[in-house]
Every structure is written in structure tokens, then in C-alpha cells.
């Protein structure tokens, strides 16, 4: 099966067909702008993935899961499947909190630790895990020092 067929099959939206950003994502705030645009207005938790090149240019965006008011299921297998299909060197995970409270939950922190560990094995860096809200607030687990396994 060709990579393009796999990308369509797994609904991996290639950025070159629908650009969200042409500048490299160098700071958490750069990625927050994208996630706010994509997820902040959602009435339920939605988790998405930004797939990055070696120079932090955006290769693809993939919606990983759509959940309930206060949770959404995410498995490392799905995160890295999308990253591998996009030929990504790094990924930024992001999700919204419809409540407006962007403090990470214990589940958010546990998922982050699992993704960092899995990414080290696969050679795909988890650059950051971001939580955004409709109010424009955000939490970067990298900025708060919680990105370590």
C-alpha cells in the first residue's frame, strides 16, 4: 500500500494541500496559536497532533481523538502511527479543555510520560504537550518542566 493511500485511510491531512503555518514552530506559543484555531472552540475534548520536520516545519496535522466533556482517549500507538506516516522527526500533542481550566490532569501527565518514553524508542521527539482553552489560556508541559519521563 502506498504512503499516500495510508495517509488518506487514516485521515492524515497533509499541510501542503491546506497550509496552517508556513513558519517553523519554534516556541510553544507558535503551536498554541494553531491549536487554539483548531481546537479551542470545540464543545468536547479533542486531541490533535502536529507532525514536524527536522527543522520544526509543520508537515501534517492529525486529529487523534474526539471525546466527551472532560476526557478523550489517546493511545501512544495512534500518536506515533500518524507521526511515522507523516515522516515526522518530532510531534507536538495538543488538546482542549472545554471547562477553561488548562491545568493538566493526572491522566494528561501520565500520557505525556508514556509518549516521551515511546518517542525515545522510536526516535520521534515529543516536543511539547499543550492544553488550550476557548478563553485563550494555555498550558505548555514543556514550559512548566513536566515533559520529562
| CATH class of the domain defined by 3-140 | alpha beta
Cell of 93: 500533542
Of 51, 86, 46, 52, nearest in space to 64 by CA: 46
Is the confidence at residue 142, as pLDDT, over 90?
yes
Per-domain residue ranges of the chain: 3-140
Contacts of 51 (CB under 8 A, 6+ apart): 58, 59, 60, 61, 62, 82, 83, 86, 88, 91
Is the confidence at residue 138, as pLDDT, over 70?
yes
pLDDT band at 2 (very low <50, low <70, confident <90, very high): very low
Quick: pLDDT tens for 22-31.
688 889 999 9
Share of the chain above pLDDT 70, in %: 85
pLDDT band at 70 (very low <50, low <70, confident <90, very high): confident
Of 104, 81, 86, nearest in space to 94 by CA: 104
Quick: pLDDT tens for 100-124.
999 999 999 999 999 999 999 999 9
pLDDT band at 61 (very low <50, low <70, confident <90, very high): very high
Is the confidence at residue 37, as pLDDT, over 70?
yes
In terms of DSSP H, where are the helices of 94-142?
106-122
The predicted model scores a pTM of: 0.85
Amino acid at each position: 500500500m502506498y504512503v499516500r493511500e495510508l495517509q488518506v485511510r487514516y485521515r492524515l491531512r497533509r499541510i501542503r494541500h491546506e497550509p496552517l503555518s508556513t513558519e517553523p514552530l519554534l516556541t510553544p506559543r507558535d503551536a498554541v496559536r494553531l491549536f487554539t484555531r483548531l481546537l479551542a472552540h470545540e464543545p468536547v475534548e479533542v486531541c490533535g497532533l502536529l507532525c514536524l520536520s527536522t527543522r520544526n516545519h509543520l508537515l501534517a496535522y492529525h486529529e487523534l481523538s474526539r471525546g466527551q466533556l472532560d476526557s478523550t482517549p489517546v493511545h501512544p500507538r495512534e500518536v506515533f502511527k500518524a507521526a511515522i506516516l507523516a515522516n515526522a522527526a518530532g510531534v507536538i500533542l495538543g488538546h482542549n479543555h472545554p471547562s477553561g481550566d488548562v491545568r493538566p490532569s493526572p491522566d494528561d501527565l501520565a500520557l505525556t510520560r508514556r509518549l516521551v518514553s515511546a518517542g525515545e524508542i522510536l526516535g520521534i521527539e515529543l516536543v511539547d504537550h499543550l492544553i488550550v482553552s476557548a478563553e485563550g489560556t494555555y498550558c505548555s508541559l514543556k514550559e512548566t518542566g513536566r515533559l520529562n519521563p
